[in-house]
Amino acid sequence: MVLARTKRARIGLLLSLAVAIALGGTASAMPIDTIGGTDALTSYTASSGILSFGATPGTVTTAPSAPFLIGADINFEGDLSTDPAGDVRDAVFVGTGSGTDITIVSGATVLLALELDYIEVVSAVPAGGGIIQMGSFAESQIGNPSAVSRLTVSGGSMNAFFGGVGTEAVLEILMSSLDPAMTKKLRNGGYLLSDFTNGLAGASTTWNLTLLHMPEPSTAVLLGCALLGLTAVARRSR
């Protein structure tokens, strides 16, 4: 009986060590990565409620862990879901339901595709001729039930680099314009009109996207070796 208890204790110790090593490796192998871009021009169609910058896409300018994205085009399309009723800060955009809503494209190759669950307008101020902020790319937004945007990776040739299909992401879009009409609306009422068109057409746009990376291959190998070792120890103890 003493021998049996000793074997069980040894197996328990090995299991604890293996899980600690594997989890430690996973935690260090899943950094937050921020992708930034600029120079998009927004377009809004009041009849359909579609806000996009596909005709003049943005350009990836920063991608610390994924430099192969720099220079690629960013396309975006969202559908107005919540009527702002005179206060643009009440506006919420969702996916269009017609396929991928956000793509990062190099030539004819889609490097990364994402589905838009929703993105909220969080501020509208007259500074700089008029700035509207949608969503937020703060790391604290990921996995937060109160996040002001939520997206998921849905495809693209490099989707595995960003955690694979289903990985959660957040988005921030800043729209600014020197359009006098937009500036006037913001200053007079503090908000845009409910049709969301005033000053948005042709507004320059910057954006930031925050993603989780997938675990490094070495982490999966480590976990697999640990499980194989545990199986071998368990068999010997029988």
pLDDT digits (tens, 9 = 90+) for 174-224: 887 666 665 566 555 554 554 555 555 667 788 999 988 755 554 444 445
Instruction: Give me the domain span that covers residue 225.
Output: 1-30+215-238
Same domain, 98 and 112: yes
Q: Report the pLDDT averaged over residues 119-129.
A: 76
Q: Is 238 exposed, middle or buried (0-12, 13-18, 19+ CB in 10 A)?
A: exposed
- Examine the domain organization and report whether 81 and 1 are in the same domain: no
d(CA 20, CA 235): 22
Q: Is pLDDT of 96 > 60?
A: yes
Domain co-membership, 49 together with 69: yes
Q: Cα separation of 183 and 202, whole Å?
A: 14
Residue 83 and residue 57 in one domain: yes
Write out the two tokens for 122: 């969080």
Residues 44 and 7 in one domain: no
pLDDT of residue 227: 52
Q: How many domains does the chain have?
A: 2
pLDDT band at 24 (very low <50, low <70, confident <90, very high): very low
Phi, psi for residue 146 in degrees, rounded to 5: -100, 15
Closest CA to 78 of 57, 53, 106: 53
> Do 169 and 204 have their domain in common?
yes
Residue 131 has pLDDT above 60, yes or no: yes
* Residues forming a β-bridge with 58: 74
Are 75 and 101 contacting, i.e. CB atoms less than 8 angstroms apart?
Answer: no
Residue 102: which region, alpha, beta or left (left: phi > 0; alpha: psi -120 to 50)? beta
pTM of the model: 0.73
**Higher per-residue confidence, 185 vs 161:** 161
- Regarding whether 71 and 3 lie in a shared domain, the answer is no
Whether 8 shows a pLDDT value over 50: the answer reads no
CA distance 94 to 84: 14
Structure-block tokens of residue 113: 């595709």
What length is written for the chain?
Answer: 238
Q: Are residues 177 and 135 in the same domain?
A: yes
**DSSP three-state, residue 215:** coil
Least confident window among 96-110, 150-164, 178-192: 178-192
Q: Give yes or no: residues 181 and 220 share one domain.
A: no
Q: How far apart (Å, rounded) are the C-alpha atoms in residues 134 and 206?
A: 11
200 and 110 in one domain?
A: yes
Residues 129 and 229 in one domain: no
Give the chain's mean pLDDT.
74
- Please check whether residues 78 and 112 belong to one and the same domain: yes
